[in-house]
Structure 1
Amino acid sequence: MSSKNRLRVALVALVVGLTGLATAGPAMAATQPATSVAAGAQQDQAPLIPTAFVDLPTSDLQAHSDRHKIKVTYTNDTAADLTVAPQLLVSSPDAGPFLEPTDVTVQHRTADGCWETVPLGTQTGTLFTDLPTAQRTLHPGETLTEVYRLTVLNSAAKGTVQPRIALYG
Structure 2
Amino acid sequence: MPTRRIPRRGPVLTAVALAALPAIAFVAPGQAVASAPPPAATATASPVGFVNLPTSPLPSDRTPHRFTVSYRNPSPTDRTVAPQVLVESPDQGPFLVTSDIRLELLGSDGRWRVVPLGSQTGTLFTSLTSAKIVLHGHHTLTQHYRLTVLAPAHGTVEPRIALYS
Return the TM-score normalized by structure 2: 0.76
* Partner Cα separation in structure 2 for residue 115 and residue 48 of structure 1: 28
* Structure 2 alignment gaps of length 5 or more: 1-22, 27-32
Q: Return structure 1 stretches of 4+ with deviation > 4 angstroms.
A: none
Give 2:125's aligned residue: 128
Q: What is the CA distance between 1:135 and its match in structure 2?
A: 0.5
Matched, 1:161 2:147: no
5 Å-filtered alignment, 1:1-169, equals 38-40=24-26, 43-45=35-37, 46=42, 48-155=45-152, 157-169=153-165
Larger radius of gyration: 2
Bigger strand fraction: 1
Aligned residues: 132
- Against the structure 1 CA distance between its residues 82 and 95, is the aligned structure 2 distance closer, same or farther, given a 3 Å change threshold? same
Give the match's secondary structure for 2:66: strand
Q: Give per-residue Cα distances to partners, 1:39-98, cap 9 Å, x unaligned.
A: 359731247210000000100001111111120001111121100000000000011010
Unmatched 5+ residue regions in structure 1?
1-36
Per the normalisation by structure 1, the TM-score is: 0.74
